[in-house]
Structure 1
Amino acid sequence: MLLSGPVNIVYNILIIDDNLQNVLILENILSPLGNIFFAESGSNALALVDKIKPDVILLDIEMPDMDGWEVCRSLKANSLYSDIPIIFITGHTEPEFERLALESGGVDFITKPFNAPICCLRVHTQLKLRQQNRLMVKAKEELQQLVNQVPMLVTYWDNQGHNLFSNDYSGLWFESLNSNIKGKHISTIFPDELSNAILKHHRHISSDALKYVVTVPQKGMMSFYEVFQSEMKSSAGVDGYLVTVVDVSEVKHAKQALYSEKERLRVTLNSIGDAVIATDIKGLITFMNPIAERMTGWRLKEALHQKIENVMHLKDSDTQQTLLNPLYIALREQRIVAMALNSQLTSLGGHVFAVEDSAAPIRNENGEVIGAIMVFHDVGEAMAMAIKMSHLANHDQLTDLPNRILLQDRLSVACSTAKSYGTKAAALLVDIDHFKYLNDSLGHRYGDELICLMAKRIRTLIPASYTLARLGGDEFVILMSDTNSVDACSQLASTLVEAMHEPFILDNQKFNVSVSIGISVFPNDAADAEELMRHADVAMYRAKQEGRNRFCFFSHDLENAMMERHHLETCLRKALINNQLFVHYQPKFDLQTNAIVGAEALARLVNDEGVCISPTEFIPLAEESGLIILLGKQVLNKACAEAKRWLDMGHAIPISVNVAAAQFTDSSLPCVIKDALLSHGLPAHLLELEITETALMVDAAEMQNRLSELTSLGIKISIDDFGTGYSSLAYLKKFNVDVMKIDMSFIKDMLNNKHDYEIVKTIISLGKSMGLVLIAEGVETEAQRYALIELGCFMGQGYLFSRPLMTIDFETLLLQNQLLEV
C-alpha cells in the first residue's frame, strides 16, 4: 500500500449448495483459509451476501429454486457485489458448462468429487487476487487524495495533446476543468498562452522535467504559471506527458511590487532635494544619494564602508569647532535626532554648505536597530531668501525705503530712547500736493517714477542717521531720532519745501511739484509712537488746508479739526453708500425776460443731526478721499431722473452737472453718462456737463479726445469758472465746448473794479466770437444784470433770481415762471 502498511486479513468464504454433504466437505477443506458461511438456496444466499460481505463465493450450478447461473447474474448485476469472485461447483465436465459459467461472470471451477489440495489452492488464489485488487483500489484512492491535496494542477496528456488525467474536477484552476475533460484536447481546456507553450515544449522535453513560466492575462490582470513538463516512457516508448502547473502569480506580483517599491525608493532618494546617507550600526556608510555625493564631494563607491565623520565634516558655523555627527546619537539613544543649529559641512573639495536636518535609526522587522540614516540639505539659499524676504517685508518695493512696518519699529525705539535720555524724536509726514491728479492724468508709470525721484531727492537732504520711509502712495515719513531742538525740525522742513521747487524731469519734460509737511514732536505732542504718527498726519492736513507747499506743526486744535474731518468723511461715505445724498437745483435765467432756461444740479449733505453741511467742506474732502467719482455718479443719476420727470410734466429744462477733475480723467465717464441717460430715458441734449478749465490743462490732446468722446453722446459741454485758470485763452480754441460760464469772482466786483469789468468784457467778447453760450455766475444785483446785458451776456444765475432749491421748491418756481410767461 502507498500510505498504510500491510495488515492481517481474515477472509469470509460463502458456500451456496443445496447438498449439505458438499457444504461440510468444502468447509473442512477451506476452513484454514477463513470464516466459512453457507446457504442452501440462491435466494437465501442473496440475502446473506449483504451481511457477511464474502471475499469469495463457491456456487453450485444446479439448485431447486434458482440455479447457479441466475444467482451469478444477480450478483454481477449489483454494483455492490459485482467485484466478488465466484467459483462454480459442478460435476459436469462438458465445455458448454464452462462457457456458460464464464459468461455469467464466474472466475474458476471446482469439480466434484472435490480434490482437497486443488480446491484449497483455487480458492486461495482468488482470495489473494481479491486482496491485491483491494490494495490497488486503496492505493489508487490514497494517491488520488494525495494528488488532489497537492497545491498544483497535475495533468497527464497523450502524444497528441488529449487529456488522460487531471487532479482538478471542480474548475478550481480553470473553469473549463469543471466537467469531464478526459479525452479532450489541451487547447480546449487551458488558456491559449498556456496550451500553446505546453504543445510547443512537447518536442523538446525528455524524461528530465522541463521548467518554464507562462504569463496569462486573466480578468484584467496578469497571472503567472510555473510549468513542469516531462515525458512518460514505457517499454513501448513515450506514452504521454506529465504536466504540472503551479500558480506563482502571488510570488511574481510580490516580487514585482518589491522591485517597484525598491525602484521608487531609489528614484525618490536620487531625485529629492535632500542629501541622504545610510550607515550600519557602526556608522559605516552603506548608501549615499547623488545630492549627498555632491555636497560631501565623495562618490558612493569611494565612501562605502567609510566612517560617516570621515565623509561628513561638520563644524559649528560660529566657533568652527568639530561637531559630533547626530547619527551616532540616533544610534546610541535609538531616536530621531535633529542637527545642531548653525552647522556647516565642508566638502572634500573645500566647499562650505550651511546644513540642517536630522538623523534617525533604522530598524528591522523585529524592531532591532540595524543602522541609521542621515538626511540633510543646504540651507544657504534658504537663509539668503529669508534675509531677502525679511527685507521685502520691511521695505517698500518701489523705492526700497523702509515701509510702515519697519518705520513703526523704529518710531517705537526712537520714542523709548528719547524718553530714557531726555531728548526728542520728531516725525515729518511729507505728502506730494495734487499727486492723485498728476498720477491719473500722467499715468501710473510716470507717477511711480516721480515717487522714486522724490525719494532720492529727500534722501540727499537728510543725514544718514535719519530714517526715510514710504507709507504708500505719495506719503513719506522722516524720523528725526535723538534730536534736542524743535528748530532743527523747522529747518529741515523748510529745506524740503524749498528743494521741491526744482522741477522734476519725466520723459524729458519738466514737472513742478510741491509738498505739504506735517510735523509732530515727542514728547511735546505725543505720548507714544502711534500718537506721534497720527498727530503728524493731522499737521500735514492743516498744511494742505492752508494752501499747500508749506509745513505745519501739530496742535490740539489741529487734532480736533482732524476728528471733525473724520466724522465728515464718515457721514459722506454713509450717505453715498445708502444713496442719501441730496441734490438741490439752482435755476438759470434769461437776463432779459426772467424766464427759466436751465438748472444746475448741486450736491447737498445733511449729517445725522439734520444739519446741512456746506459743499465747500465735503466736496474737497470727497476729492481727497477718492469718493468724488461715486458722488458725481450719484448726483448725475439723481439729476437725470428729475430732469426726465420735469420733461414728463411738460418742462424741457436742460440740467447741468458738475464734473470734477478726477471724474473727467476717469476712462469710464462716457459709459457712466450713457447708462444714466438710458436708464432714466432722458434725451441727451437736455444734459450739460460743467468742467472746470483747470481739468483741461493737463494734456490738451488727450482732453480734446475725451471731450469729443463725450460730445458724441449728444450732450453739451460747459467750461465752469472760466477766467480763473492759467492757460484758458491759449487752450480754449482747441476744445469743442458749447457753454462758457463766467466765474462769480469777476461778477461780484465788476461794477466796482475796472480790472474785473474788463475781464468780464473780454470773456464775453471771446465767447461771442467763438459762438459759445455765455452764462454769468453769482448775479446778485440788478445793476450787475443790466451791465451783463449791455456787454452781450444774456444768461445768468445767482441770488438775484434764486438760491439753490430743493426739488419741490424748484418745481413750484417752474410753475410760477410758466404762469408769468403766459
Structure 2
Amino acid sequence: MLKNFTLLYVENNEEAIETFLSAFKEHFKAIFIARNGDEAMSIFESSHPDILLCEIQIPDINSFEMIERMRATDPNLPVIINSVFSDTPLLLQSIALHVDNYILKPTDIEVMLKALEKAARVLNLEKSLVRSHRMMQTIIDEIPDPIMYIELDFSVSMMNKAAKELGGEDVNALLPKCYKISNTTSGACADGSPLCPIEHVSKTKKPSTQRHIHTDKKGKKHHIDVDARPIFDSEGAVVAYLEIRRDISNYLDVQNQLLHETKKLTHISMHDSLTHLPNRRLLADRINHAIDRKTRTGGEFAIFFIDLDHFKEINDTLGHLIGDQLLIHVAKRIRQMTRKGDTVARNGGDEFVLLIDDGISKNHFTTVAEKILQLFKTPFLIQDTEVYSACSIGISIFPQDGETAETLLNHADIAMYASKEAGRQQFAFYSPALV
C-alpha cells in the first residue's frame, strides 16, 4: 500500500534517520530526508511528498509553522509527529493543526507502520474520491442539459459545463446559490419563488418538475423544465438535491408546428379543395351527429340535395375554368343564406348538400328550398361574363324518411331526380311513392 506514495521525513538525529530508513526504505516509492526547516520546505515545494513525518523539536525550525505552511498548499497532507516530547502544550498545538498521529519516541516500528498505513489508506480514499469526482465531472460535462448538485442551503457544490454556461452573477463563486446560476432577467427559480422545485422536494421528499418561462438577456423567452430530485443518505434523510434543466422551447415550437400541420391536414381531408366546403366525409359525420342529437332530444332535421341544372352545357360552352368558378360562386351564395348550425357541403361534381338542423316544420323546410331557388334568379358574374344557372332540389327529413346518413342522402337524391323529371328549377320532398 505504501509503495505508491512518497514520504518527507524531517529529522536531525542521524541515528533515528538510519533506523527509520532501515525499517521503511523498501516500503515507500521514495523517502526524502530533511534535517532542517529550509531543506524541508525546499523538498516539499519541489517533490510534493504524499506524507509528512517530522520531529517537532529541531533547532532553527518551528515545526508547527512549517506544518501550517505545507497544509496551506496541500490541505489534505497527512502529518505524523514522531517526537520524544509529550508536553501538553505541544499536544494541544498538534490537535489544533489536526495532525493525523502523534507517536512518541523511542519509536515502536509496528505502531509507526500502522500509522503510516492508515495515512496511506486515507490518501487512497481521497485519491479515489478525486478520481470519482473527475470521472463524474467528465461524464456530466458531456450532457447538454445543465446539471447541478445542490446542498441543503441551495449552494451548488458540483455542476456541469452546460450549467456554467448559463452564466449568472455567482456562477464562478466557490459555492454559488442555485438561483443565481441562470442567464435570465426574469422568471421563476428565484429565492423564495413559489415555483421553486427544490423547496417542493424538501417538503415532499419526492421528485418535482416545474415549468418555468425564463427571459434571457437578449429578451428571448425560453420554456424550461426544471427537474429536481432528492439525494438520500443511508438513513433516508435528504442530504442534497439533483437538479436538471431542460430547455424545451425548440421542442414546443416543433410540437406547435406539428399541431398546426395536423390541423391543416385534417381540414384538407375534411373539405373540398375547390369550394372549401365540407366534403362527403365531413358531411356524413355532421349528419351522424345530428341523428344522435335528435335521437336523444327529439325533433327533425332535413337533408337538401342540390344539383345544378344543365351544368354540363356550361362546361362544354364556356369551359371548365368558368364551370369551376360557377361552383365557387354557388357555394358562397348558399353558405351566406344558412345559419351557423347548418352545414353546406359539396357532394361531388355539381352536387351540393345542405343540412338544416332544428327545423320547426315541413313549412320551414319549404321556405328554405324556395330561398335556395331564389338564389339562382340573379346571374353569376364570372370574368366579366354573366352566367345563368339553376338547380333542382330533393329533400328528406329525419326521422320519417330515414334514420341513417346513407338512407337520408339516398332518399334526398331520389327526391332531387323527381324534381328534375318534373321540369327542373324546383324542389320535391321524398315520398315512398317516388321509388
Instruction: Calculate the TM-score normalised by the size of structure 1.
Output: 0.28
Higher-RCO chain (CA-CA 8 Å, sequence separation at least 6): 2
The structure number with the bigger radius of gyration is: 1
Instruction: Calculate the TM-score normalised by the size of structure 2.
Output: 0.49
